[in-house]
Chains A and B, each alone.
Chain A
Amino acid sequence: MLMSIKDLTRRYAGQNRDVLRGASFDLARGESVALTGDSGSGKSTVLHLLAALDRPDRGQILFEGTDISNLSDAAASELRRGRIALVFQQYNLVPALNVAENISLHARLGRRFDPAWTETLVRHLGLSGLLTRYPEQISGGQQQRVAIARSLAVRPDLLLADEPTGNLDETASAEVLRLMLDLVSRSGSALFLVTHSPQIAARCDRHLHLSGGQVRSAAP
């Protein structure tokens, strides 16, 4: 098992209810999993916990058998530099860097930069003509593809995505999702994505639903 999530509980300071209450699920290599849920149900929290950006109040997150729920900042950062990558709804590109630099940034930080693989990604994601542009000079869909390219360039074991197609129109969204699923299966990693969209969830191998702070398998 790539990742085992056990009994996660999280409450934010100043709030009087638990966002998560004993959420548990597993992720296997090569599989794509979608998580749906209402606004404020704690989807992003789950994502942040899986990325070791946040720590649970209780519970375990076993990544290849190791608990990553309580890592030091340095260890968590180490994990994010190579093994776990994130794609956000709002792309999170570095505005000061151009497209090519943004794509290679993550891989360079993790010392995993592979020019040939990056080149492949750029071609597959249709970014070849945009490499010298700056983030604000390209469209939202293009920015999202840059963000995906950046995450995949590190060949992560786990790709986490938060509404990766949220800002895209239907065609673009379908295309981006196809690419992600394709590339994940081709590189043998796992995809965990958070979405509102039942259509998108339906295209993944598994569909989980978050409500009342707990994760359940949704009806297929």
Chain B
Amino acid sequence: MIHVLGTMFRHWRRAPLQLVLLIAGLALATALWSAVQAINAEARASYGRAVERLGTGGMAALTSPEGAIALQTYVRLRRVGWQLSPVLEGTWAQGGRSVTLLGVDVLSYPGAPAMVTAAEADGSLGPLGVLTTPGVMFAHPETQAALAGLDQEAFRILPLPDLPPNLVLSDISVVEGLLNRPGQLSRILILPDQPEGLPALSVLAPRLQRSSTDDGPLGDPGRLTRSFHLNLTAFGFLSFGVGLFIVQGSITLGIEQRRGTIRTLRCLGVAMSGLMAALLLELIVLALVAGGLGLVVGYSLAGLLLPDVSATLRGLYGAPVDGTLSLRLSWVVSGLGMALAGTLLAGLQALLSLRRMGRHLSQASYATARLNRTHIWIWCLSGAGLISLGAVVLQVGSGLLAGFVFLGGLMLGSAVLLLPVLTLLLQGMRRMARSPAFQWLTADSQLQLPGLSLSLMALLLAVATNVGVGTMVSSFRMTFVDWIDQRLVADVFVEVETDAQAQAVMRWAKANDARSLPQSYSDTRLNSAPLRIYGVVDDPLSRRDWPLVRGAPDAWDQLHSAGAVFVNEQLAHRDGLQPGDRMTLGPDWSAPIAAVYSDYGNPDGQIIMSLPALRAHVPAPIVRRIGLVPTEATHPGDLGQGLARDLGISATAIRDKDMIKSLSIAVFDRTFVVTGALNILTLAVAGFAMLTSFLSQWSRRLPQLAPVWAMGVSRARLAGLELLRSLGFAVLTFACALPLGLGLAWALLNVINLEAFGWRLPMYLFPAEWVRLFLLTCLAAGLAAVVPVLRLLRLSPARLLEVFSNDRL
């Protein structure tokens, strides 16, 4: 066994490039997969830490359809015996910055120990600082820094890194004062341990709704970010799959090149089982080495990508993620396991072919597996079967998982269909070919097809993914930019801290001939989920620009004169609402739906109605932001300066439209940085896979090239044909990948996005991108053909001649 293994291994010393390719391919695949895993694990661990220390994830909560719960209700339930913890939450505008204030009762709140510890860590405060006046607040260090301008005497803010950004946590006594909501609660958490024999909450407080989890800001952030991670995992898996094609190519090549050695060893009395065992052992060693290397690369890659990912998660969901990475044993084990499993899977074909080779040891075994009609049918049927399976799951099932099953079926099925499609295409070309060289080329290509099929599938998947994801991101971006333009109706936005300030701003605007569009809202709940109701004033700009997705032409009239509401797209999708439906907003409050509008980046439900209609039910809606539209003659900048001068509003509280827009787009772009990086890497991996397949075919191709050469086709000509063949395959594959990619984009925009976020996006086509991708694909194919072509050019005639003398056993 040692001799056999040693002899097998000696091969790699003579073929270092191939060894490098094999290890690099496997390492790359492992790296991509494990990088994604590391990022996900890190994010999850961050949520876990936050939830464990501060959150109330998994804890049920009571909420009120009216939005607020009276403190007396809490006390009443307490006095019946229910063990509960009250929470008051609201938006607090301070120093031009608006943060979420979360007030909790530190005696009953599950996260209170972290607050006490943080207060003690400050040194100057005792543990009782959290309870004694003037009170102390806690915020993520970034948020703490952003609020540094506040009066340190009145507002003592301590760092608490477990908190999500833009959230300030404090005792409820502090928060009710700052929000000016004495005696009100936003929700009541139901603590885990309850005495036995209590009367049911539904009997005690029938008007309150019980939600199974706390969806407040410190509830489980995993709830919101699950789809993001699912996307990332799917991408990681795809990369890994594509990477395996490289490994498969390299292993096949490794066996192909050692065919002679293997046959000799058989003749020298090495049993088949021994050979297989040696090969298996070799694969395991290679997998572990490459897997280890991949983990190192994956770890650095994750470290590189994590800051962007955590910025995305914080920006998009407010989920707390550290920018730093920690090494986890489970991650190392699963990464190596994946490398091992992948290698064995990729080596399966090689091992089987070795077995076959062993059985027909004495036969002339160069008969290339030629695809016959039956094979083509089998491939066609399996491909079609996979696609229809996905479609059926999508029809029958629902949700994100069904969407991904559909995508998986579509991608895999199309990959399987690639082989028959290319065979048919090549057959057609062969029939049409005039020049004998071209005829030989197509015939030869057809013969090579089975060997190349896996790497071509990899290329197909990579190109289609690029087209699909690229189209999705670009379509989303275009839509988003348009949408943000539409949503930012006014030119200047002023953040106000109090109602009095809001009134002052509106009076000032009137005096200065500017129209004011106050954003009045009231927070409530609908079907146990948070709902924000905006009251809007009738303004021609809103009528013109507000981004409606569907709705009657007179939707705005219905809104302003008939008491109708517009609902955001995600709410419409979640609750199955349509224009024309009626929705219930409270015990004696319902309204017809006139339109659905797009509202990207917001995980929660939202509706708009006319301001008077909102006031009829909520006497004093909150106004924290006012849009101002100056007269034609006034420059928006002057308006801001005037506000700052006359009302003493800080400059940071006044933002113009362009600034908000560029900030939002920056957040958007950061979100998809990772996607873009993975896209390019996947394509690189596919190019790599092609290179290894070409190399693995090389040794088998000599006997096929030699006769052509002998018939007078020069080596340079052969090299040119070789390059042409590679490019030809790339072109054909690209031609198949483009529609698949567009299908993928459609699914991403209309299925995955809808399920994950609740919004459907229009699809735009980007032919310039396709051209770029086409050139990239050709480049990859060309590069992949370079090594074989160079070898061919430098091939000595003697080697070709040997073919004739050798081609027997």
Contact = CB atoms under 8 A, between A and B. Distances in A.
- Judge A-B direct contact (beta carbons within 8 Å): yes
Contact of B273 (A74, A108, A167): A74
A54 B268 contact: no
A105 B268 contact: yes
Contacts of A63: none
Interface stretch (A26-34, A83-91, A200-208): A83-91
Contacts of A48: 361-362
B7 interface: yes
Interface string B1-44: 00110010011011000000000000000000000000000000
B14 A96 contact: yes
B361 A53 contact: yes
A58 to B, nearest CB: 17
B362 A74 contact: no
Given A96-B7, A96-B11, A81 B263 contact: no
Interface in A13-30: none
B264 interface: yes
A51 interface: yes
Contacts of A110: 268-269
Interface in A161-202: 167
Contacts of A64: none
A163 B284 CA distance: 40
Nearest to A55: B362
A9 B177 CA distance: 103
A78 B269 contact: yes
Interface string B336-360: 0000000000000000000000100
Contacts of A95: 14, 260-261
Contacts of B118: none
Nearest to B272: A73
B10 A96 contact: yes
A218 interface: no
Contact of A77 (B7, B260, B274, B805): B274
Contacts of A77: 266, 269-272, 274
**Most B CB atoms within 10 A — which of A51, A88, A109?**
A109
Contacts of A51: 267
B267 A109 contact: no
Contacts of A4: none
A12 interface: yes
A53 B7 contact: no
A93 B7 CA distance: 12
A112 to B, nearest CB: 10
B361 A54 contact: yes
B663 interface: no
Contacts of A80: 266-269
Interface string B254-288: 00000011011111111111100000000000000
B10 A81 contact: no
Nearest to A86: B267
A97 B9 CA distance: 10
Contacts of A73: 271-273, 358
**Most B CB atoms within 10 A — which of A86, A92, A108?**
A92
Contact of B261 (A76, A85, A94, A150): A94
A153 B269 CA distance: 14
B808 interface: yes
A106 interface: yes
Contacts of A45: 362
Contacts of B263: 92
Given A45-B362, A95-B14, A97-B10, A79 B269 contact: yes
A109 B11 CA distance: 18
B435 interface: no
Contacts, number: 85
A141 interface: no
Nearest to B15: A96
A55 B160 CA distance: 78
B6 to A, nearest CB: 9
A44 B808 CA distance: 10
Contacts of A105: 3, 7, 268
A173 to B, nearest CB: 15
B677 interface: no
**Most B CB atoms within 10 A — which of A74, A77, A80, A85?**
A77
Contacts of A167: 805
B72 interface: no
A37 to B, nearest CB: 15
A82 B270 CA distance: 11
B270 A93 contact: no
Given A96-B14, A167-B805, A106 B358 contact: no
Interface in B741-755: none
Interface in B92-110: none
Given A73-B273, A77-B274, A93 B264 contact: yes
Interface string B775-809: 00000000000000000000000000000011011
A76 B362 CA distance: 14
A97 B362 contact: no
A49 to B, nearest CB: 8
B3 A108 contact: yes
Contacts of A53: 266-267, 361-362
A160 to B, nearest CB: 9
A18 to B, nearest CB: 15
A19 B263 CA distance: 22
Given A89-B808, A90-B809, A109 B270 contact: yes
Contact of A109 (B3, B260, B261): B3
Which 7 residue pairs across A and B have the least CB separation, nearest first? A81-B269, A80-B269, A77-B271, A96-B10, A48-B362, A54-B362, A92-B264
Given A73-B358, A92-B264, 14 more contacts: A45-B362, A48-B362, A53-B266, A73-B272, A74-B271, A80-B267, A80-B269, A81-B270, A85-B268, A90-B809, A92-B267, A96-B7, A96-B11, A96-B13
